[in-house]
Chains A and B, each alone.
Chain A
Amino acid sequence: AQSVTQPDIHITVSEGASLELRCNYSYGATPYLFWYVQSPGQGLQLLLKYFSGDTLVQGIKGFEAEFKRSQSSFNLRKPSVHWSDAAEYFCAVVRRDSNYQLIWGAGTKLIIKP
Protein backbone atom coordinates (compact mmCIF):
# COMPACT_ATOMS: atom_id res chain seq x y z
CA ALA A 1 0.00 0.00 0.00
CA GLN A 2 1.04 3.53 -0.59
CA SER A 3 2.46 5.07 2.54
CA VAL A 4 4.51 7.80 4.05
CA THR A 5 6.44 6.94 7.18
CA GLN A 6 7.74 9.29 9.80
CA PRO A 7 9.37 6.87 12.21
CA ASP A 8 9.80 9.31 15.10
CA ILE A 9 6.63 10.30 16.92
CA HIS A 10 8.52 12.70 19.22
CA ILE A 11 11.99 14.21 19.02
CA THR A 12 13.59 16.32 21.74
CA VAL A 13 16.58 18.52 20.96
CA SER A 14 18.34 21.29 22.81
CA GLU A 15 18.05 24.82 21.57
CA GLY A 16 20.94 25.51 19.22
CA ALA A 17 21.45 21.86 18.35
CA SER A 18 21.01 20.42 14.88
CA LEU A 19 17.87 18.63 13.81
CA GLU A 20 16.97 15.91 11.36
CA LEU A 21 13.43 14.61 10.93
CA ARG A 22 13.01 11.47 8.89
CA CYS A 23 10.52 10.73 6.15
CA ASN A 24 10.30 7.68 3.91
CA TYR A 25 7.77 6.87 1.20
CA SER A 26 6.83 3.66 -0.52
CA TYR A 27 6.22 4.45 -4.19
CA GLY A 28 8.02 3.11 -7.20
CA ALA A 29 8.39 6.45 -8.90
CA THR A 30 9.50 9.70 -7.35
CA PRO A 31 6.49 11.58 -6.05
CA TYR A 32 6.20 15.25 -5.31
CA LEU A 33 7.45 15.73 -1.76
CA PHE A 34 6.46 18.26 0.87
CA TRP A 35 7.19 19.19 4.46
CA TYR A 36 4.59 21.10 6.46
CA VAL A 37 4.78 22.51 9.99
CA GLN A 38 1.88 22.89 12.39
CA SER A 39 2.50 25.20 15.32
CA PRO A 40 0.21 25.00 18.36
CA GLY A 41 -3.18 26.47 17.53
CA GLN A 42 -2.12 27.19 13.97
CA GLY A 43 -2.94 25.73 10.61
CA LEU A 44 -0.39 23.86 8.53
CA GLN A 45 2.26 25.87 6.77
CA LEU A 46 4.37 24.68 3.87
CA LEU A 47 8.07 24.62 4.73
CA LEU A 48 9.45 23.36 1.44
CA LYS A 49 8.75 21.10 -1.51
CA TYR A 50 10.60 18.99 -4.03
CA PHE A 51 9.37 18.48 -7.57
CA SER A 52 12.54 17.85 -9.56
CA GLY A 53 16.08 19.10 -10.04
CA ASP A 54 18.53 19.76 -7.23
CA THR A 55 17.93 17.16 -4.56
CA LEU A 56 18.75 19.58 -1.74
CA VAL A 57 15.92 22.06 -1.34
CA GLN A 58 15.85 25.13 0.82
CA GLY A 59 12.75 26.20 2.64
CA ILE A 60 11.52 28.86 4.97
CA LYS A 61 12.70 29.39 8.55
CA GLY A 62 16.16 28.00 7.80
CA PHE A 63 14.97 24.47 7.00
CA GLU A 64 16.27 22.30 4.20
CA ALA A 65 15.49 18.80 3.00
CA GLU A 66 17.38 16.31 0.90
CA PHE A 67 15.73 13.88 -1.48
CA LYS A 68 17.53 10.55 -1.72
CA ARG A 69 16.04 8.36 -4.40
CA SER A 70 18.03 5.26 -3.39
CA GLN A 71 16.61 5.45 0.12
CA SER A 72 13.13 6.73 -0.81
CA SER A 73 13.70 9.41 1.78
CA PHE A 74 13.11 13.13 2.13
CA ASN A 75 14.59 14.09 5.50
CA LEU A 76 14.16 17.55 6.93
CA ARG A 77 17.14 19.29 8.54
CA LYS A 78 18.02 22.46 10.36
CA PRO A 79 21.55 23.26 11.56
CA SER A 80 20.49 25.10 14.72
CA VAL A 81 17.00 24.96 16.18
CA HIS A 82 15.27 27.79 18.00
CA TRP A 83 12.63 27.50 20.71
CA SER A 84 10.08 28.79 18.20
CA ASP A 85 10.63 25.67 16.08
CA ALA A 86 8.71 23.59 18.62
CA ALA A 87 5.81 22.26 16.57
CA GLU A 88 4.58 19.19 14.76
CA TYR A 89 6.12 18.44 11.39
CA PHE A 90 4.40 16.52 8.63
CA CYS A 91 5.85 14.97 5.53
CA ALA A 92 3.49 14.54 2.59
CA VAL A 93 3.70 13.19 -0.95
CA VAL A 94 1.68 13.43 -4.13
CA ARG A 95 2.05 10.69 -6.69
CA ARG A 96 2.87 12.01 -10.14
CA ASP A 97 0.48 9.58 -11.80
CA SER A 98 -2.56 10.29 -9.64
CA ASN A 99 -5.14 12.95 -9.20
CA TYR A 100 -3.99 15.53 -6.73
CA GLN A 101 -4.13 13.91 -3.33
CA LEU A 102 -1.67 14.55 -0.56
CA ILE A 103 -0.71 11.41 1.35
CA TRP A 104 0.48 12.34 4.82
CA GLY A 105 2.86 10.94 7.36
CA ALA A 106 1.66 10.67 10.96
CA GLY A 107 3.80 13.61 12.02
CA THR A 108 6.77 14.17 14.31
CA LYS A 109 6.40 16.38 17.35
CA LEU A 110 9.51 18.47 17.97
CA ILE A 111 10.23 19.45 21.57
CA ILE A 112 12.94 22.00 22.28
CA LYS A 113 14.89 21.84 25.53
CA PRO A 114 16.12 25.20 26.83
Chain B
Amino acid sequence: KAGVTQTPRYLIKTRGQQVTLSCSPISGHRSVSWYQQTPGQGLQFLFEYFSETQRNKGNFPGRFSGRQFSNSRSEMNVSTLELGDSALYLCASSLISVGGTGTQPGKAFFGQGTRLTVV
Protein backbone atom coordinates (compact mmCIF):
# COMPACT_ATOMS: atom_id res chain seq x y z
CA LYS B 1 0.00 0.00 0.00
CA ALA B 2 1.53 3.33 -0.99
CA GLY B 3 2.17 5.79 1.81
CA VAL B 4 1.27 9.43 2.10
CA THR B 5 2.77 11.41 -0.76
CA GLN B 6 3.56 15.08 -0.53
CA THR B 7 4.71 17.18 -3.44
CA PRO B 8 6.92 18.97 -3.98
CA ARG B 9 9.52 17.91 -1.42
CA TYR B 10 11.36 21.21 -1.54
CA LEU B 11 10.27 24.67 -2.56
CA ILE B 12 11.85 28.11 -2.56
CA LYS B 13 9.63 31.14 -2.92
CA THR B 14 10.03 34.87 -2.47
CA ARG B 15 8.06 37.07 -0.12
CA GLY B 16 4.67 38.05 -1.41
CA GLN B 17 4.29 35.03 -3.66
CA GLN B 18 1.77 32.30 -3.11
CA VAL B 19 2.35 28.56 -2.95
CA THR B 20 0.28 25.42 -3.26
CA LEU B 21 1.31 22.16 -1.64
CA SER B 22 -0.22 18.80 -2.41
CA CYS B 23 -0.90 15.72 -0.31
CA SER B 24 -2.14 12.36 -1.52
CA PRO B 25 -3.32 10.23 1.41
CA ILE B 26 -3.17 6.49 1.74
CA SER B 27 -5.79 4.84 -0.42
CA GLY B 28 -9.05 4.57 1.48
CA HIS B 29 -8.17 7.23 4.02
CA ARG B 30 -10.62 10.12 4.11
CA SER B 31 -9.05 12.37 6.69
CA VAL B 32 -6.14 14.64 5.82
CA SER B 33 -4.55 16.99 8.33
CA TRP B 34 -1.91 19.62 7.72
CA TYR B 35 0.78 20.74 10.14
CA GLN B 36 3.52 23.34 10.17
CA GLN B 37 6.77 22.29 11.80
CA THR B 38 9.41 24.83 12.75
CA PRO B 39 12.49 24.32 14.94
CA GLY B 40 11.60 24.64 18.60
CA GLN B 41 7.86 25.01 17.91
CA GLY B 42 7.03 21.41 17.28
CA LEU B 43 4.05 20.72 15.09
CA GLN B 44 1.36 23.33 14.81
CA PHE B 45 -1.99 22.16 13.53
CA LEU B 46 -3.26 24.00 10.47
CA PHE B 47 -6.49 22.25 9.51
CA GLU B 48 -8.12 18.91 8.92
CA TYR B 49 -10.30 17.82 6.04
CA PHE B 50 -12.63 14.88 6.05
CA SER B 51 -14.70 13.91 3.03
CA GLU B 52 -14.04 17.27 1.36
CA THR B 53 -15.16 19.28 4.41
CA GLN B 54 -12.94 21.22 6.77
CA ARG B 55 -13.51 19.65 10.19
CA ASN B 56 -11.02 21.53 12.33
CA LYS B 57 -8.88 24.61 11.99
CA GLY B 58 -5.87 25.79 13.93
CA ASN B 59 -4.85 29.31 14.83
CA PHE B 60 -3.31 30.43 11.58
CA PRO B 61 -4.12 33.56 9.57
CA GLY B 62 -6.48 33.45 6.64
CA ARG B 63 -3.50 33.40 4.26
CA PHE B 64 -3.40 29.67 4.96
CA SER B 65 -6.18 27.77 3.27
CA GLY B 66 -6.84 24.30 2.05
CA ARG B 67 -9.21 22.05 0.26
CA GLN B 68 -9.85 18.38 -0.31
CA PHE B 69 -10.99 16.73 -3.49
CA SER B 70 -13.39 13.86 -3.98
CA ASN B 71 -10.46 11.42 -4.25
CA SER B 72 -9.29 12.63 -0.79
CA ARG B 73 -6.23 14.36 -2.17
CA SER B 74 -5.70 17.66 -0.42
CA GLU B 75 -4.00 20.92 -1.26
CA MET B 76 -2.79 23.64 1.03
CA ASN B 77 -2.34 27.18 -0.21
CA VAL B 78 -0.43 30.00 1.39
CA SER B 79 -0.87 33.45 -0.11
CA THR B 80 1.31 36.52 0.33
CA LEU B 81 4.21 34.52 1.74
CA GLU B 82 6.19 35.89 4.65
CA LEU B 83 9.69 34.94 5.79
CA GLY B 84 8.17 33.36 8.89
CA ASP B 85 6.27 30.88 6.74
CA SER B 86 9.51 29.01 6.09
CA ALA B 87 8.92 25.60 7.60
CA LEU B 88 8.38 21.93 7.00
CA TYR B 89 4.74 21.34 6.11
CA LEU B 90 3.52 17.87 6.98
CA CYS B 91 0.37 16.16 5.96
CA ALA B 92 -1.15 13.22 7.78
CA SER B 93 -3.83 10.86 6.61
CA SER B 94 -6.01 8.61 8.71
CA LEU B 95 -8.88 6.29 8.12
CA ILE B 96 -11.41 8.10 10.26
CA SER B 97 -11.97 11.43 11.85
CA VAL B 98 -13.38 11.34 15.37
CA GLY B 99 -15.45 14.45 14.84
CA GLY B 100 -17.55 13.90 17.93
CA THR B 101 -18.61 10.41 16.95
CA GLY B 102 -17.08 8.98 20.07
CA THR B 103 -14.86 6.62 18.15
CA GLN B 104 -11.21 6.47 18.93
CA PRO B 105 -8.87 8.51 16.78
CA GLY B 106 -7.36 6.57 13.98
CA LYS B 107 -3.67 6.16 13.58
CA ALA B 108 -2.21 9.02 11.57
CA PHE B 109 0.27 8.32 8.81
CA PHE B 110 2.54 11.16 7.85
CA GLY B 111 4.13 12.12 4.59
CA GLN B 112 7.75 13.19 4.40
CA GLY B 113 6.76 16.81 4.17
CA THR B 114 7.39 19.77 1.94
CA ARG B 115 10.27 22.00 2.99
CA LEU B 116 9.25 25.56 2.13
CA THR B 117 11.86 28.30 2.20
CA VAL B 118 10.74 31.89 1.78
CA VAL B 119 13.48 34.35 0.80
Q: Do A and B bind each other?
A: yes
A43 touches which of B40, B96, B112 (Cβ 8 Å): B112
Q: Compute how far the CA of A92 lies from the CA of B108 in the bound complex, rounded to whole angstroms.
A: 11
Q: Compute how far the CA of A102 lies from the CA of B108 in the bound complex, rounded to whole angstroms.
A: 10
- Chain A residues with CB under 8 A of B107: 46, 49
Q: How far is the CB of A58 from chain B (nearest CB, A)?
A: 15
Q: Compute how far the CA of A90 lies from the CA of B45 in the bound complex, rounded to whole angstroms.
A: 14
Q: How far is the CB of B69 from chain A (nearest CB, A)?
A: 20
B119 at the interface (CB under 8 A from A): no
Q: List A82-99 residues whose CB lies under 8 Å from chain B.
A: 90, 92, 94, 98-99
A9 at the interface (CB under 8 A from B): yes
Q: How far is the CB of B87 from chain A (nearest CB, A)?
A: 14
Chain A: interface secondary structure? loop
Name, among B31, B40, B43, the residue most crowded by chain A CB atoms within 10 Å (CB to CB).
B43
Q: How many residues of A contact B (CB 8 A)?
A: 25
B112/A99 in contact, CB under 8 A = no
- Chain B residues with CB under 8 A of A94: 98, 105
Segment of A12-20, A62-70, A71-79, A103-111 in the binding face: A103-111
- Chain B residues with CB under 8 A of A100: 31, 48, 55-56, 94, 96-99, 105
Chain B: interface size category? 20 to 34
A41 at the interface (CB under 8 A from B): yes
B41/A106 in contact, CB under 8 A = yes
B98/A43 in contact, CB under 8 A = no
Q: Compute how far the CA of A102 lies from the CA of B118 in the bound complex, rounded to whole angstroms.
A: 27
Q: List B34-60 residues whose CB lies under 8 Å from chain A.
A: 35, 40-45, 48, 55-56, 58
- Chain A residues with CB under 8 A of B92: 44, 102
B71-93, CB under 8 A of A: which get 1 and which 0?
00000000000000000001010
B33 at the interface (CB under 8 A from A): yes
Closest chain A residue to B50, Cβ basis: A100
Name, among A9, A49, A90, A101, the residue most crowded by chain B CB atoms within 10 Å (CB to CB).
A101
- Which residues of A does B touch, CB under 8 Å? 6, 9, 32, 36, 41-46, 49, 51, 90, 92, 94, 98-107
